[in-house]
Structures are given as structure tokens and as C-alpha cells.
């Protein structure tokens, strides 16, 4: 992904230092096997350090790896606007890259 962009905004639910048991966390997706990796904040920070990136996170589900230095407070403040529909507004101006990225990587 870093060959495509130095800015990666993604969502993933973080697990703690001791992963929950499969029957305690629906995110495992045992019925379909969709998720192949699980992260905690320490792991994301390791990835950021390895690739000389900055990590910004709401500590829950939304995370940004970027070469740019941002104000951490401002990043978290902007994410709080999600409850007011900010991402639905932004989504109107952006097109999903899921399928096109999949085709490119295939």
C-alpha cells in the first residue's frame, strides 16, 4: 500500500495485548474467515516506526499512517464529527477504491 500512497486511513477494531477468545469476539469472522490480521495500538506504532511514518488514531477503530506531521488533538477532534455525519458528507465526494485496488493488486 505504501507504494501507492504515503497516507493510509483505515479502520480496524483493535484488540488488547491479550487477544480475546474466538467465542468472545465477533470480529474474528469464524464463519467466513475474512479477517487475517489483528492489531493493537503497539503493533500499529511498530509499523509506523518501521516505515518512518506517523500514526494517528482515535484509539478504537480509525487510524492514519502518514509521512506528514499532524496535530494529534486536531485529528481526534475531526474524528468526533463522525457522529454528525462527517464521513457521509466526505463519502459523497469520494469514490470507493476497494474494487479498483483489488484489480490492481491482483
In the prediction, which pLDDT does 11 show? 83
* Mean pLDDT value of segment 73-102: 74
Tell me if 17 is assigned to some domain.
yes
Number of structural domains the chain divides into: 1
Tell me if 40 is assigned to some domain.
yes
Tell me if 1 is assigned to some domain.
no
All cell numbers assigned to 93 = 465526494
Q: Residue 44 and residue 50: Cα distance in Å, rounded?
A: 10
In the prediction, which pLDDT does 33 show? 62
88 - beta bridge partners? none
pLDDT mean across residues, the chain = 81
Structure confidence by residue, pLDDT tens digits, 35-80: 667 788 999 999 999 999 999 998 888 899 999 998 888 888 777 7
Tell me if 101 is assigned to some domain.
no
Its pTM surpasses 0.75:
no
Q: 10 Å Cβ neighbour count for 5?
A: 11
Tell me if 86 is assigned to some domain.
no
Q: What percent of the chain has pLDDT over 90?
A: 23
What is the domain range of residue 67? 7-80
Tell me if 91 is assigned to some domain.
no
Amino acid at each position: 500500500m505504501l507504494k501507492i500512497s504515503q497516507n493510509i486511513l483505515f479502520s480496524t477494531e483493535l484488540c488488547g495485548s491479550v487477544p480475546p477468545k474466538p467465542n468472545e469476539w465477533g470480529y474474528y469472522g469464524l464463519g467466513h474467515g475474512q479477517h487475517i490480521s489483528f492489531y493493537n495500538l503497539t503493533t500499529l506504532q511498530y509499523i509506523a516506526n518501521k516505515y518512518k511514518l506517523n500514526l494517528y488514531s482515535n484509539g478504537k477503530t480509525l487510524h492514519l499512517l502518514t509521512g506528514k506531521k499532524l496535530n494529534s488533538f486536531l485529528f481526534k477532534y475531526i474524528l468526533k464529527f463522525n457522529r454528525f455525519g462527517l464521513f457521509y458528507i466526505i463519502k459523497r465526494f469520494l469514490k470507493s477504491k476497494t474494487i479498483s485496488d483489488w484489480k490492481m493488486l491482483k
